[in-house]
């Protein structure tokens, strides 16, 4: 999977593609409305990309303090963009 369109098209399938990284699987599950399963994909990871996804998920949840902690771990600032825009930016970065 190499493009945002391919990633979004994969949301029509019942399961994420096996070759996706845990961070991309988290975004896949998030897009399918399964926040808890998305969180479980990155909760135990500490590399920058997973920390950014983790931050996004807590921002979406409304736990801003926890989100800011994970943004710092990712070396990012909490964005002013919408959650949808951040989700797309994350997918593009991780593909």
pLDDT digits (tens, 9 = 90+) for 69-90: 999 999 999 999 999 999 999 9
Residue 46 reports pLDDT greater than 90: no
How many beta carbons lie within 10 A of that of residue 23, not counting itself?
A: 25
Question: Is 3 part of any domain?
Answer: no
Question: Is 22 part of any domain?
Answer: no
Question: Is 46 part of any domain?
Answer: yes
- Tell me 79's DSSP state: P
Averaged pLDDT, 15-41: 97
Question: Is 10 part of any domain?
Answer: no
> Based on the structure, what is the number of domains in the chain?
1
- Following CA atoms 83, 86, 92, 95 in sequence, which dihedral angle do they give, to the nearest 10 degrees? -80
3-class DSSP state for residue 90? Answer: helix
Q: Provide the pLDDT for residue 45.
A: 92
Question: Is 35 part of any domain?
Answer: yes
Residue 45 lies in domain: 31-95
Residue 24 reports pLDDT greater than 90: yes
Question: Is 5 part of any domain?
Answer: no
Question: Is 17 part of any domain?
Answer: no
Q: Provide the pLDDT for residue 78.
A: 97
């Amino acid at each position: 999977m190499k493009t945002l369109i391919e990633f979004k098209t994969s949301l029509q399938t019942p399961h994420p593609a096996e070759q996706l990284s845990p961070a991309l699987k988290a975004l896949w599950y998030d897009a399918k409305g399964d926040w808890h399963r998305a969180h479980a994909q990155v909760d135990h990871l500490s590399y920058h990309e997973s920390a950014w996804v983790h931050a996004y998920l807590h921002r979406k949840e409304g736990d801003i303090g926890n989100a800011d902690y994970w943004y710092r771990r990712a070396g990012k600032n909490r964005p002013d963009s919408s959650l949808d825009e951040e989700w797309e930016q994350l997918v593009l970065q991780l593909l």
